[in-house]
């Protein structure tokens, strides 16, 4: 019996409508892996890619003989809308290489799910639809997506199973890749799915989508979904997709997906029940941040009073993981003005500053000029006297949390000392959710009194060895990823929507796909 040929591909980026355009260079800085290079990278011990594909490959290897047909995986740090011309190139590459790979027995798509381009509001749906068009109606397709995906009807209609992350921070990416392999194996054996999905008029800010027990309404919703799935073997998967508000698309909205092993009534009933539960909790999807001046005062007091526990200030409004530029200086400037001491701040993206530091060398004091070449909103210039403590090529392997075991490349990087603050400046934009970003420079995170991170929440899975949830402060600062959605000029977001609007009545519209029908 011939081993099934399984194609692997993906276009993974989370796009913020209000951020500068994402280009080919942004993808080259992270990963563009064609053909055999994709599968070779996936089989490395520390792959330079998101964990889903390596986990999918490992699980398939244990389930049955199979033949990988790697197509292309393109991945970039979250940013603005993708240059449409580049996306068209990727789409055409998918078309050519998938066609050349025929006949195929199955397809795995590793997508983020919240992409937009300069001309297209649903490029993820375009990828899914293209794959279905090429392989035909009978070839099973399974896709994984981020829980910050914006799910369209076109995405759901094109695949047999759509599996989203269930953990935020995303410590389960590998688990979901393995789930995709298990689901595809069932489909190859003849299982037909029934998929019900419903989108709610709720666009939760990212800070209210944490999933640790007791963390909030989304955590409770995920727990309810997992309990439901565990209680009924007819359920193949339940995904509660929180969405990404900054995408500003017509498909925005918290989405419930219930996938069964052929039971349409159960799929519909499950999706409707969980949607009703989410709707009852809608008032809880409102963020609560610490005022800017209060956070700065806390950092100053923490540095002066040794009896106080250390604090972590999360600069959630400038999170590169949500499209922020990772370069705003509001907190840096305020902490310097306040005279805060024993502060670690990371990571600040400034390629020009990092390059200048590398040209000068360690131990040199100089006038550090921030954002000299950046024109994005909130990327204000700033200058301060700094000393170059240590230089690095920015390459390493993640130690904990989302990046554990994964190779990363921050580009030429530097640790600078400015009065009582040590900050890390990098070349390749990246959110700071990995202790190794500081440890590359020999810095002791545990000895700092205040740590400032440009990250929305993924740091919680890695910095928990240093800070309890009670020591973490989410700061209300300016930025492209502020959780206060009223600060954005949305154009395409469905309205009315919680938390921007009050909605008293809503009736769910549950859509159903049965038996693989498309």
Give the per-residue SS3 of 23-54: CHHHHHCCEEEEHHHHHHHHCCCCCCCCCHHH
Torsion, CA 227, CA 231, CA 232, CA 235, rounded to 10 = 20
Residues 6+ apart with CB under 8 A from 257: 151, 156, 162, 164, 195, 196, 197, 237, 238, 239, 240, 241, 271
Residues 6+ apart with CB under 8 A from 413: 347, 354, 391, 392, 393, 394, 424, 425, 426, 427, 440, 441
Q: What are phi and psi of 421, to 5 degrees?
A: -120, 135
Cβ atoms of 271 and 178 closer than 8 Å: no
| pLDDT less than 70: residues of the chain | 515-518
Residues 6+ apart with CB under 8 A from 82: 13, 15, 21, 22, 23, 76, 115, 116, 117, 118, 123
pLDDT for residue 306: 79
For 363-383, what is each residue's pLDDT tens digit?
999 999 999 998 889 999 999
Q: 460, 473, 469: which is closest to 434 by C-alpha?
A: 460
3-state secondary structure of 214: coil
Strands 413-418 and 421-426: antiparallel
Say what the pTM is: 0.95
Q: 505, 512, 518: which is closest to 256 by C-alpha?
A: 512
Cβ atoms of 23 and 125 closer than 8 Å: no
pLDDT for residue 374: 86
- C-alpha 199, offset from chain centre: 20
- DSSP states of 277-331 as a string? HHHHTGGG-----EEHHHHHHHHHHHHH-TTSPPEEEE-GGG-GGGT--S---HH
Q: Give the Cα separation of 124 and 112 in Å (integer).
A: 8
Q: Give the Cα separation of 273 and 275 in Å (integer).
A: 5
Cβ atoms of 24 and 86 closer than 8 Å: yes
3-state secondary structure of 381: coil
Dihedral sign of CA atoms 386, 438, 449, 219 in order: positive
Q: 393, 296, 286: which is closest to 338 by C-alpha?
A: 296
Residues 6+ apart with CB under 8 A from 256: 197, 198, 200, 225, 238, 239, 240, 241, 271, 274, 275, 278
Tokens of 341: 């001491």
Cβ atoms of 316 and 205 closer than 8 Å: no
Q: Distances in Å between the alpha carbon of 462 and those of 143, 164, 238, 312, 399?
A: 27, 21, 27, 13, 8
| Residue 32 burial (10 A CB sphere; 0-12, 13-18, 19+) | middle
Tokens of 414: 């530097």
Residues 6+ apart with CB under 8 A from 457: 168, 169, 206, 207, 209, 210, 314, 316
pLDDT for residue 515: 56
Write the DSSP symbol of residue 446: G
Write the DSSP symbol of residue 4: P
Q: Give the Cα separation of 454 and 298 in Å (integer).
A: 18
pLDDT for residue 376: 86
Q: Give the Cα separation of 194 and 54 in Å (integer).
A: 27
pLDDT for residue 280: 95
Residues 6+ apart with CB under 8 A from 390: 362, 414, 415, 441, 442
């Amino acid at each position: 019996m011939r081993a099934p040929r399984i194609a692997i591909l993906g276009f993974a980026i989370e796009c913020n409508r209000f951020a500068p355009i994402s280009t080919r260079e942004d993808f080259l800085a992270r990963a563009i892996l064609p053909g055999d290079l994709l599968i070779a990278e996936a089989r490395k011990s520390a792959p330079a890619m998101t964990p889903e594909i390596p986990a999918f490959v490992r699980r398939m290897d244990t389930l049955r003989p199979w033949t990988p047909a790697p197509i292309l995986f393109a991945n970039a740090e979250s940013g603005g809308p993708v240059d449409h011309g580049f996306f068209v190139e990727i789409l055409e590459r998918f078309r050519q290489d998938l066609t050349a790979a025929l006949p195929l027995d199955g397809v795995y798509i590793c997508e983020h799910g919240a992409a937009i381009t300069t001309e297209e509001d649903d490029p993820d749906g375009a990828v899914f639809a293209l794959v279905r068009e090429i392989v035909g109606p009978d070839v099973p397709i399974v896709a994984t997506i981020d829980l910050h995906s914006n799910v369209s009807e076109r995405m759901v209609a094109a695949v047999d199973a759509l599996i989203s992350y269930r953990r935020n921070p995303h410590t389960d990416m590998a688990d979901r890749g393995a789930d995709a392999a298990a689901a595809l194996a069932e489909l190859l054996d003849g299982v037909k799915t029934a998929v019900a999905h419903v989108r709610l008029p709720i666009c939760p800010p990212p800070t209210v989508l944490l999933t640790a027990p007791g963390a909030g309404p989304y955590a409770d919703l995920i727990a309810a979904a997992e309990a439901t799935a565990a209680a009924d073997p007819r359920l193949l998967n339940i995904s509660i997709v929180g969405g990404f508000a900054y995408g500003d698309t017509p498909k925005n909205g918290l989405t419930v997906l219930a996938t069964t092993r052929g039971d349409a009534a159960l799929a519909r009933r499950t999706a409707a029940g969980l949607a009703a539960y989410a709707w009852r909790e809608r008032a809880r999807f409102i963020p609560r941040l610490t005022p800017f001046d209060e956070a700065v005062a806390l950092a100053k007091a923490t540095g002066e009073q040794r009896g106080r526990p250390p604090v972590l200030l999360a600069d959630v409004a400038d999170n590169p993981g949500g499209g922020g530029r990772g370069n705003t200086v509001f907190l840096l400037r305020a902490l310097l003005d306040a005279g805060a001491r024993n502060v670690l701040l990371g990571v600040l993206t400034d390629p020009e500053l990092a390059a200048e530091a590398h040209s000068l060398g360690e131990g040199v004091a100089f006038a550090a000029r921030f954002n000299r070449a950046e024109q994005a909103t909130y990327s204000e210039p700033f200058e301060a006297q700094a000393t170059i403590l240590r230089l690095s090529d920015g390459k390493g392997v993640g130690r904990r949390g989302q990046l554990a075991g994964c190779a990363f490349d921050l580009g030429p990087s530097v640790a600078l000392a400015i009065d009582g603050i040590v900050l890390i400046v990098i070349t390749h934009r990246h959110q700071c959710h990995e202790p190794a970003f500081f440890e590359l420079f020999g810095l002791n995170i545990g000895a700092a009194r205040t740590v400032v991170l440009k990250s929305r929440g993924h740091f919680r899975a890695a910095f928990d060895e240093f800070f309890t949830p009670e020591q973490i402060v989410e700061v209300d600062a300016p930025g492209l990823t502020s959780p206060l959605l009223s600060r954005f000029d949305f154009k395409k977001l469905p309205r009315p929507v919680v938390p921007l609007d009050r909605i008293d009545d809503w009736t769910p519209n549950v859509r159903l796909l049965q038996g693989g029908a498309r």
